[in-house]
Structure formats: structure tokens, C-alpha cells
Amino acid sequence: MPVIVHFWAPWCGLCRLIDPLLDQLEQSLPHRLQILRINADENFALSRHFQLTSLPTLLFFDRGELVQRFDPALVKGDFRQALQQLLAHSFPSLLPAESHRS
């Protein structure tokens, strides 16, 4: 099962904005996608292991392998659209065909 790891912190405003979108995504793909939320402040060793430079950071894993990193703070424009494009690229089998057409 593909996994998205969401590194966040309580003080991070953008993290709180992203959370409802991730909840919606997880609910729309039950038993097909798992989202793990990790408080970066409480898991410093793990944050350092993945060399986080900003929060939030999303890590996309497929079959235990890191396939993509996503730093929403660097997104210019619509975050939701950027996330859809990244999902279509990283996990094309999860989304309906019209979601990842060029």
C-alpha cells in the first residue's frame, strides 16, 4: 500500500492547512493509501534522517521505497493541483484516469 508521510509541527500554519486535504484524500482512497503524520519536533532523529529543511514536508513511499518528496512551502499557485499532479506521477493507479491526463 502506498504511504504518504506528513512531517508537521504544531507551530506550522501551512501544516494545519494541508491536513484537511490529506484527510479528504485518505477518505477518498480507503484501504488503498495510508497517510502517517509525524510531529517533526517530537521526532528529531527521524526528521534529521530524512534531511528535512522545511515544514510541512510530504514523503511518498511505495513498497517501502521513497519515491518522491514534496515541500508544499515551495509550491507556487494551487497546492491542491500540485498535490494531484504529484500523486498522479508517484501513484498513477490510485487516481481516476482523468486526474492524471496531460
User: Any catalytic annotation for residue 15?
Assistant: yes
Q: Check 4, 15, 22, 52 and give the catalytic one.
A: 15
Query: Backbone phi, then psi, for 92, in 5-degree steps?
Result: -60, -25
User: Any catalytic annotation for residue 36?
Assistant: no
Q: Check 2, 4, 8, 12 and give the catalytic one.
A: 12
Sign of CA dihedral 20, 21, 24, 30: negative
CA distance 64 to 19: 23
Q: Do 92 and 67 meet the contact criterion of CB atoms below 8 Å apart?
A: no
**Residues labelled catalytic:** 12, 15
